[in-house]
Structure 1
Amino acid sequence: MARYKLSGGCACGNIHYDFDGELAMAVHCHCRDCQRSSGSGSAAIFAANRNDIQLTGKTSSYQYTGDSGEAVVRHFCPNCGSPLFSDVKTLPDLMFMRIASLDDPSQIRPSMHIYCDSSQVWDRPNDPLPKFGKMPS
């Protein structure tokens, strides 16, 4: 796998992170929670080992129940509201980072679409990437 050395953060500069490691995955997520938190039809996300991410600044967060029945905590900047990452109880070693929060989002390209069963009619995936109704195994 490729190793990445990237940085990112929120729009106002209050929160910053550095990432140095390999990706667990990079996806377009079409679940309703990503739609609501992004204000669009999907969110582009990369997952990485939390030990490979150094975060500075204090986020605000809220918790909801994912389709696994377990907690998902979404983190965002308390100043500008930029969505940054999620913690998923069923995958505690990973952080699910918003690709758009990277200083150079073009460095990571999602390899699939997930939760396509929830995609909106005005934002159906129309590219050659694999598409999954829910989270693939």
Structure 2
Amino acid sequence: MAEPIAARSCWCRLCQYLGAGSATVNVCFPTEAVTISGEIRYFQSVADSGNVMQRGFCPTCGTPLTSAAEARPHLLFIRAGALDDPGLIGPQATIWASQAPDWACIDEALPSYPAQIPPVA
């Protein structure tokens, strides 16, 4: 397994949909360092940041697996729960905190940002 570049907890509205109402934890890897086994299907959408995204999911069970921005093809974001080792890295920041519901549990020990922050690489 490649070393992750970073991990963020995201509260954008799309991630809330993907996370059943909660945030998603997205782990960033260099695209060329990732090997995926099994079939993935993709859904294209435009993120709140304006980035065109390819979102990968399992065609059998529907589990959200990956995200990739067309503007940064060298980076692949994998949902932490989809990793063989989901404890590989925890979130290092919270993004899109301004869209979190009032009941959200946001770790105050982490840097928190109201919207998208610059790419990690």
TM-score under structure 2 length normalisation: 0.89
Structure 1 unaligned runs (5+)? 6-19
Per-residue Cα deviation, 1:71-103 (whole angstroms, up to 9, x for no partner): 111111000111110111121111110001122
Q: Which secondary structure does the structure 2 equivalent of 1:54 belong to?
A: coil
Deviation at 1:124, TM superposition (A): 4.0
Letter in 2 for 1:24: I
Computed over aligned residues only, the root mean square deviation of the Cα atoms, in angstroms, reads 1.4
Length, aligned pairs only:
118
Percent sequence identity is 30
Structure in which a larger fraction of residues adopt strand? 1
In structure 1, the partner of 2:88 is: 107
| Paired residues for 1:1-137 under 5 Å | 5=1, 20=2, 22-137=3-118
Structure showing greater Rg: 1
Letter in 2 for 1:66: A
TM-score under structure 1 length normalisation: 0.79
Letter in 2 for 1:36: Y
Per-residue Cα deviation, 1:5-37 (whole angstroms, up to 9, x for no partner): 3xxxxxxxxxxxxxx2x3222010010010111
Q: Which secondary structure does the structure 1 equivalent of 2:87 belong to?
A: helix
Per-residue Cα deviation, 1:43-67 (whole angstroms, up to 9, x for no partner): 0011111101011222122111123
Q: Which runs of structure 1 show a deviation greater than 3 angstroms over 4 or more consecutive aligned residues?
A: none
Letter in 2 for 1:23: P
Structure 2 unaligned runs (5+)? none
